């Protein structure tokens, strides 16, 4: 199902950005340095109504996620963006081992707890677009290096994954 939405940011008020730094744990986050080449867009995959940004950050800290060897740099929600790994450190999100996804792309997870046609879903997509652009701008990078994790894993990982337009 294609749930692509146009992201209109007229009158947009940026969400609150907070830091809850994740300490290296030797499994899912090693703290390895990263030279950022671009942004990799993800969606959390958790459609539970309670799966807002904080719930997904809590999951990243769980043993289950650590054992999956999964981590990401930031989680985008309705009103808040939570940064968890600094933008100069690698996260395990690209399903490409030591490849360029994990080694050089900043991973941004967007929450999926809102129905695709809802105003809340649109707001999360606006926040996602704004944050990706802001992160690239802050690093002096063009908007072109925005990719999806499917670009690294060679497959579509979520039915709704294409809701974020790369154009």
| DSSP per-residue letters across 136-156 | HHHTT--S--EEETHHHHTS-
Return the sign of the alpha-carbon dihedral for residues 14, 121, 92, 27. positive
Q: List pLDDT tens digits, range 115-165.
A: 988 999 999 999 998 999 999 999 999 887 677 766 666 544 433 333 333
Q: pTM for the whole thing?
A: 0.83
């Amino acid at each position: 199902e294609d749930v692509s939405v146009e992201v209109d940011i007229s009158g947009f008020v940026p969400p609150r950005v907070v830091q809850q730094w994740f300490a290296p744990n030797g499994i899912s986050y090693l703290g390895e340095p990263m030279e950022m080449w671009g942004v990799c867009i993800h969606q959390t995959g958790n459609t539970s109504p309670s799966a807002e940004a904080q719930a997904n950050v809590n999951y990243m800290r769980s043993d289950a996620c650590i054992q999956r060897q999964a981590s990401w740099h930031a989680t985008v929600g309705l009103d808040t963006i939570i940064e968890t790994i600094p933008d100069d450190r690698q996260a395990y999100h690209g399903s490409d081992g030591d490849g360029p996804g994990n080694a050089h792309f900043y991973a941004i997870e967007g929450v999926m707890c809102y129905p695709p046609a809802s105003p809340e879903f649109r707001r999360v997509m606006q926040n996602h677009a704004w944050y990706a652009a802001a992160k690239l701008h802050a690093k002096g990078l063009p908007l072109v290096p925005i990719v999806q994790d499917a670009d690294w894993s060679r497959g579509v990982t979520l039915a709704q994954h294409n809701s974020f337009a790369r154009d």
